[in-house]
Chains A and B, each alone.
Chain A
Amino acid sequence: MVGCAGRDLPILPKDYSWIPGMDRTFTPMTFPTSPTLLSWLCAYALLTLGAMQTVLGQSLPVVPLAEVPDLVAKGKQARVQGIVTFQIIRGFVFIQDSSGALCLHRRDNGTLAVGDLVEATVHSFSRRGYWHVAETAQKIGTRPVPAPELVRGDEFTVARHHAARIVVTGRVISHSQSTHDYFIDGAYVPVRYDVLTTECDGANLRMAFLKGTDITTQCPVGTRATFTGMARVHDLHDDSTNPYVAIWVDGPGAVEILELPSILARPQIQRWLTITGLIVLGGIFISGVWMLAQRRRMKLLRAKEEALRQSNAELERRVAERTQELHQALARERELGEMKSNFVTLVSHEFRTPLGVIMSAVEVLQRYFERLPVEKRARHLDMIFRSTKNLAQLIDEVLLLGCVEEGRMKFAPVPVDVEKICRTLSDELHSATGGTSPIHFSVETNLDGAVSDVALLRHIITNLLSNAVKYSERGSPVEFCAGRKDRYLVLTIRDQGIGIPGADQERLFTSFTRASNAGQRPGTGLGLVIVNRCVQLHGGKLHLESATGRGTHITVTLPSYPAA
């Protein structure tokens, strides 16, 4: 018995061989016809009846099946007869008579077939499993199985339908499995079922199919069908917490499918659709995520490209900038080089001129001294003297200009007595030039508190005064005026000399450039260059006004007073 527990059980009406003890070669008993056998049988029947009477203690009348529950409930025994309508497992059968039906458990676990008319004496009721129990059951004949009663799902009653063969129509709402243990030969045998929970006229009924059918495939959820089987009805009286109707269906043949669910409503299709839908949704989701990721990647890529482009542009801009700077620096360097080269050429020429004069004068004196008139000798000697002096001045000024240009001459301001310096320089220059032109120095305002570089100031004043005297006719006065205007020291030098032609004024601050009307007046062409540089070192300004034949007016403005 236990051995069959794990096996899938075949459908009952078709094959009973799985039931232990069931004889496959069983054939219905045929009645013997010979007198000997008949007498034997009579004797056997008498003996059996006698034995039964011995067992039961008394001979009982056969009662309708409908009355059995009441009798058993009162503790009485009931002798019953009924036609087997269904056998779940060996010893567990449904029997039916004209009054009702009963679930019968015969304890000897004998086998019966559907359609057998049996007789048994019920003596108790097993609440567990809702079976009426008899020790044994005798087959006393064969009868056609009664037609099933058509019942609405909401009309089941224990009294009328428990254990009855019925037909019910409903719609499958779910599939499940169930296991029930049956006590056979002293042990519980588990029997497994496929269960269709079915909605029948508003009531939920369970259709139990012995395991091994493909009922769940045949009747997908939503199927409407007619089920023929044995009802086991439990009502509030029996189990108040779980009233239900379970119907043991004979087999697939007892199911008549009225209506299958639409293709889309079928669970397999739905499952398939669900899976497909999930796959599609998953695909869409993954695609979406992928697309988002791509977009993000593209965005990042674009941002990177943009950054790269910008950085490239920035780099190119910088390179261009640097290149331009380099070009400019190179051009400046070249210009400086050219300037230096020109300067050297100019300087050498300027040096050579007085040197050439000296040498030629000396040569003249050496070779022709005897033949030269006295005044001519004196002229040549004077020539040598002037040229030497000019050369010395030139050397001084070139060296000074070199200092200024190379930045060796620094602006070092100290408190100065401007008036005293101006007066001293005027006197010095007046005597140095032999007093050819008088210098009239005047002070416009109080000059106290000036801060300036004495050496630079000296160069400025000396050069300007010497120019003024040099380019003035003998006796023509030079006006020299010093004054303060706000935080500026203003020096004005005005002469009435030959003046500077307009065309030459722009070039005056270039080295070795002299006014075209300078004539025989000695000069190096460096004086104004030096003055201009000294004024620039002060952070000041030089303003020149001049006209040929009317003199020159130079104004130097130096920020020599601290801000108020």
Chain B
Amino acid sequence: MKTILVIEDQPDMRENIATILEMENHTVIAAQDGRAGITLAKEEKPDLILCDVMMPDMDGHEVLALCVPTLASLARLSSSSPPVVKKATNASA
């Protein structure tokens, strides 16, 4: 059982992903945009992050760019580095 952070601006989509992951017995934390996602990532130290690419304000690439150093420092403290998975549902991604 893992803790997974889902960053997705589309609520229906976010809910569906969360449902699927919960059904697979994972703990899901969800964020509706990049900023909230980064905050949650720092607080909750998830095992996996699923992030949408096309989002208003801050897109997936930016979230990733900001997340990685944060997570790296976290990794040094906790000695467990969470992998970041891009959600590549878009054709352009």
Shortest beta-carbon distance from A344 to chain B in Å: 10
Does A96 sit within 8 A of B, measured CB to CB?
A: no
Interface residue count on the A side (C-beta < 8 Å)? 23
Does A149 sit within 8 A of B, measured CB to CB?
A: no
- Interface SS majority for chain A: helix
Asked whether B11 lies within 8 Å of A520 as measured between CB atoms, the reply is: yes
> Which residues of chain A are within 8 angstroms of B17 by Cβ–Cβ distance?
360
Smallest CB gap from B22: residue in A: A368
Interchain CA distance A376-B91 in the complex, whole Å:
29
Asked whether B92 lies within 8 Å of A363 as measured between CB atoms, the reply is: no
Does B16 sit within 8 A of A, measured CB to CB?
A: yes
Shortest beta-carbon distance from A367 to chain B in Å: 7
Asked whether B90 lies within 8 Å of A361 as measured between CB atoms, the reply is: no
> Which residues of chain A are within 8 angstroms of B15 by Cβ–Cβ distance?
379, 383
List B residues 1-52 near A (Cβ within 8 Å).
10-13, 15-17, 19-20, 23
- Of A357, A360, A368, which is in contact with the most chain B CB atoms at under 10 Å from its CB? A360
Interchain CA distance A383-B13 in the complex, whole Å:
10
Does A485 sit within 8 A of B, measured CB to CB?
A: no
> Which residues of chain A are within 8 angstroms of B63 by Cβ–Cβ distance?
none
Asked whether A364 lies within 8 Å of B16 as measured between CB atoms, the reply is: yes
> Which residues of chain A are within 8 angstroms of B91 by Cβ–Cβ distance?
348, 352
Asked whether A357 lies within 8 Å of B19 as measured between CB atoms, the reply is: no
Given known contacts A349-B90, A352-B90, is B54 in contact with A361 (CB within 8 Å)? no
Does A516 sit within 8 A of B, measured CB to CB?
A: yes
Does A387 sit within 8 A of B, measured CB to CB?
A: yes
Smallest CB gap from A355: residue in B: B89
- Interface SS majority for chain B: helix
> Which residues of chain A are within 8 angstroms of B16 by Cβ–Cβ distance?
357, 360-361, 363-364, 380, 383
Asked whether B23 lies within 8 Å of A360 as measured between CB atoms, the reply is: no
Give chain B's interface residue range (CB within 8 Å of chain A). Answer: 10 to 19
Residues 340-361 of chain A: 1 if any B CB is under 8 Å from the residue's CB, otherwise 0? 0000010011001100110011
Does B56 sit within 8 A of A, measured CB to CB?
A: yes
Shortest beta-carbon distance from A51 to chain B in Å: 166
Asked whether B19 lies within 8 Å of A364 as measured between CB atoms, the reply is: yes
Does A24 sit within 8 A of B, measured CB to CB?
A: no
Does A371 sit within 8 A of B, measured CB to CB?
A: yes
Residues 368-393 of chain A: 1 if any B CB is under 8 Å from the residue's CB, otherwise 0? 10011000100110010011000000
Q: List chain B positions with a Cβ less than 8 A from chain A.
A: 10-13, 15-17, 19-20, 23, 54, 56, 89-92
Query: Could you write out 23 A-B pairs with CB less than 8 Å apart?
Result: A345-B92, A348-B90, A348-B91, A349-B90, A352-B90, A352-B91, A353-B13, A357-B10, A360-B12, A361-B12, A363-B16, A363-B20, A364-B23, A367-B23, A368-B19, A368-B20, A368-B23, A371-B23, A372-B19, A379-B15, A383-B12, A383-B15, A383-B16
Known: A348-B92, A349-B90, A386-B12. 12 other contacts (CB 8 A): A348-B90, A349-B92, A352-B89, A357-B16, A360-B17, A361-B16, A363-B20, A364-B19, A364-B20, A383-B12, A383-B16, A387-B12
